[in-house]
Amino acid sequence: MLLVNHIRDQFDVVLAGLQKRNFPDALAVLNQVLALDDQRKTTQTQRDQLQAESNSISKEIGMLMKSGKREEAEQIKARTAQLKQEIKDLDDQNSKAEEELKALLYTIPNIPHSSVASGKSAEDNEVVLEHGVIPNLGEDKLPHWELIKKYDIIDFDLGVKITGAGFPVYKGKGARLQRALINFFLDEALKAGFLEVQPPILVNEDSGYGTGQLPDKEGQMYHATADNLYLIPTAEVPITNLYRDVILSEEDLPIRNVGYTPCFRREAGSWGAHVRGLNRLHQFDKVEIVQITHPDKSYQALEEMISYVQGLLQKLELPYRVLRLCGGDMGFTSALTYDMEVFSAAQERWLEVSSVSNFETYQTNRLKLRFRGEDKKTQLAHSLNGSALALPRIVAAILENNHGPDGIQMPKVLHPYLGFDKI
């Protein structure tokens, strides 16, 4: 959530940032924010003046009572009753203005970093680098949805029977591949200095608002209405919310957490060949890395996270590329996002497997996540997160890029986790 003072002090910068995101009616919305804030301040000033008058009259009544001037004291008591009602009315007005202001701020996305390019869609994203050799599988290439049938390792029909489309059943070596990847990703994160946590996969409304999934992505989340809880779309939500309403010490930073969870996304309106098989699911597994950092060091942390994710892809021997997202394709809460995509040799296209983002103070302002520096003053920390990694498209690329006449060769780094080297 943007800070009102930042909007007021850097109005032109904020406006330009929202326009870079193609945010509709940016000027009108920002002016409305400032008008509501002015209204709130005016009401608060009036309320404080009336409270000061009430306090003064109360002292005067006390002095009159001590002096035995009861009749005069009773005469001005009526004014105190009137002041109390006026103060109450102003408190109600102020609460209403604050709620309207907060609700409006929730609808405004984060301001892009200066390095973010203008653009409207994924087609305008900038390719930063490409790595690895794209395999040539020839005419015998098979997409992963054909391979999983051939080797009977994932069953979509059983998933439909049990739950519905987008909930596959992993079997035999398919299940072992899932477990191997999860353990590999977690072990690599621990080696890199991340602390493993195992958070709940259901979160309350406050947690959804804290990291920005609510109200922006409410329609994409599964909602357990009886208890007003949400199935998580990513481990970012519960892990970052571990630090909601917390004041850290500067010495605690950076905080580096990693967690494995299943993730749930409704993905309403997703149809077509581009979402076939493992390309897009309603339930999938993912290992997530989260950092809470000092504002001066968050972009250094972002670069380190990008390098770390690339290291995982290199160890899995997958060709990949790194993209810096344009303003029109960035997530609602992000200030700067890099996507990592692997090449699917059978589908002949790039598949996103990781997003690494710096949110600056956008989430921490919602979370009231602060740290206290040497001067004992508190300030908002910066939050970052990244997929390290999401499994479905990694599995799809491993299967497609490594299959041959005698089976599917597994990446060497996974052999100790799998107990086999080929499917």
Collapsing DSSP to helix, strand or coil, 391 comes out as helix
The annotation status of 353 as a binding-site residue, yes or no, is yes
- Under the banding of pLDDT at 50, 70 and 90, the label for residue 416 is very high
Using the CB atoms, write b or e for 116-145: b if 16+ within 10 Å: beebeeeeebeeeeeeeeebebeeebbbbb
Question: Which alpha helices (H) appear in 192-297, and where do they start and end?
Answer: 205-211, 236-241
Q: Are 86 and 8 a contacting pair, CB within 8 Å? A: no
Distance CA 188, CA 388 (A): 9
Give long-range contacts, CB 8 A cutoff, 24+ apart: 57-63.
57/83
Tell me the one-letter amino acid at 21.
Answer: R
- For the stretch 59-91, pLDDT in tens is 887 887 778 777 777 777 778 888 889 999 999
- Residues with Cβ < 8 Å from 124, sequence gap 6 or more? 117, 118, 326, 328, 329
Sign of the dihedral defined by the CA atoms of residues 58, 61, 65, 67, in that order: positive
The annotation status of 250 as a binding-site residue, yes or no, is no
Question: Residue range 408-419: average pLDDT?
Answer: 98
The annotation status of 234 as a binding-site residue, yes or no, is yes
Tell me the one-letter amino acid at 226.
Answer: A
Q: Is residue 114 part of a domain?
A: no
The annotation status of 352 as a binding-site residue, yes or no, is yes
Q: Which residue's structure tokens are 């306090």?
A: 55
Residues 222 and 300 in one domain: yes
pLDDT at residue 63, as a whole number? 82
CATH code, domain with 13: 1.10.287.40
- 54 — alpha (psi -120 to 50), left (phi > 0) or beta? alpha
Which residue among 74, 106, 138 closes a domain? 106
- CA 388 to chain CA centroid, Å, is 14
pLDDT at residue 274, as a whole number? 66
- Residues with Cβ < 8 Å from 395, sequence gap 6 or more? 144, 177, 178, 181, 278
Question: Residue range 111-115: average pLDDT?
Answer: 96
Domain that holds residue 410: 122-418
Question: Residue range 110-138: average pLDDT?
Answer: 94
Break the chain down into helix, strand, coil percent, rounded to 5: 50, 20, 30
Q: Which of 12-26, 193-207, 269-283, 404-418 has the lowest mean pLDDT?
A: 269-283
How do beta strands 349-360 and 382-390 pair? antiparallel
How do beta strands 336-344 and 283-293 pair? unpaired
Query: Is the pLDDT reported for residue 278 higher than 60?
Result: yes
Question: Residue range 150-178: average pLDDT?
Answer: 97
Residues 82 and 127 in one domain: no
Query: Is the pLDDT reported for residue 208 higher than 90?
Result: yes
Q: pLDDT higher for 274 or 163?
A: 163
Distance CA 144, CA 150 (A): 10
Residues 95 and 133 in one domain: no
Q: Is residue 288 part of a domain?
A: yes
CATH code, domain with 350: 3.30.930.10
Distance CA 38, CA 375 (A): 31
Residues 41 and 144 in one domain: no
Q: Which of 103, 83, 92 is nearest to 40 (CA)?
A: 92
Residues 102 and 135 in one domain: no
- Total domains present in the chain: 2
Collapsing DSSP to helix, strand or coil, 401 comes out as helix
Q: Are 320 and 343 a contacting pair, CB within 8 Å? A: yes
The annotation status of 354 as a binding-site residue, yes or no, is yes
Q: What string of DSSP letters covers 355-369? A: EEEEEETHHHHHHT-
pLDDT at residue 61, as a whole number? 79
Q: Is residue 187 part of a domain?
A: yes
Percent above pLDDT 90 for the chain: 87
- Under the banding of pLDDT at 50, 70 and 90, the label for residue 272 is low
Query: Is the pLDDT reported for residue 273 higher than 80?
Result: no
How high is the mean pLDDT of the chain?
94
Q: Are 414 and 303 a contacting pair, CB within 8 Å? A: no
How do beta strands 283-293 and 382-390 pair? antiparallel
Query: Is the pLDDT reported for residue 268 higher than 80?
Result: no
- For the stretch 44-63, pLDDT in tens is 999 999 999 888 888 887 88
Query: Is the pLDDT reported for residue 377 higher than 60?
Result: yes
**Structure tokens, 330:** 């960035």
Distance CA 76, CA 71 (A): 9
Q: Is residue 99 part of a domain?
A: yes
Residues 129 and 206 in one domain: yes
Which residue among 106, 141, 166 closes a domain? 106
The annotation status of 287 as a binding-site residue, yes or no, is no
Residues 279 and 153 in one domain: yes
Q: Is residue 92 part of a domain?
A: yes
pLDDT at residue 76, as a whole number? 78
Q: Is residue 115 part of a domain?
A: no
Q: Are 343 and 394 a contacting pair, CB within 8 Å? A: no
Which residue among 79, 106, 133 closes a domain? 106
Collapsing DSSP to helix, strand or coil, 387 comes out as strand
Residue 340 phi/psi, 5-degree rounding, is: -110, 130
The annotation status of 355 as a binding-site residue, yes or no, is yes
Residues 188 and 335 in one domain: yes
Residues 28 and 160 in one domain: no
Q: At what angle do helices 391-401 and 173-191 cross, to 10 degrees?
A: 120
Q: Is residue 340 part of a domain?
A: yes
Residues 101 and 126 in one domain: no
The annotation status of 267 as a binding-site residue, yes or no, is yes
Residues 345 and 224 in one domain: yes
C-alpha triplet 317, 321, 322: angle, nearest 5°? 125
Q: Is residue 275 part of a domain?
A: yes
pLDDT at residue 62, as a whole number? 80
Task: Give kind and range of the element (H or E) at residue 31.
Answer: helix 26-66
Question: Residue range 198-219: average pLDDT?
Answer: 95
Question: Which alpha helices (H) appear in 281-385, and where do they start and end?
Answer: 298-315, 362-367
Q: Are 279 and 401 a contacting pair, CB within 8 Å? A: no
pLDDT at residue 270, as a whole number? 52
- For the stretch 320-359, pLDDT in tens is 999 999 999 999 999 999 999 999 999 999 999 999 999 9
Q: Are 354 and 386 a contacting pair, CB within 8 Å? A: yes
Residues 210 and 343 in one domain: yes
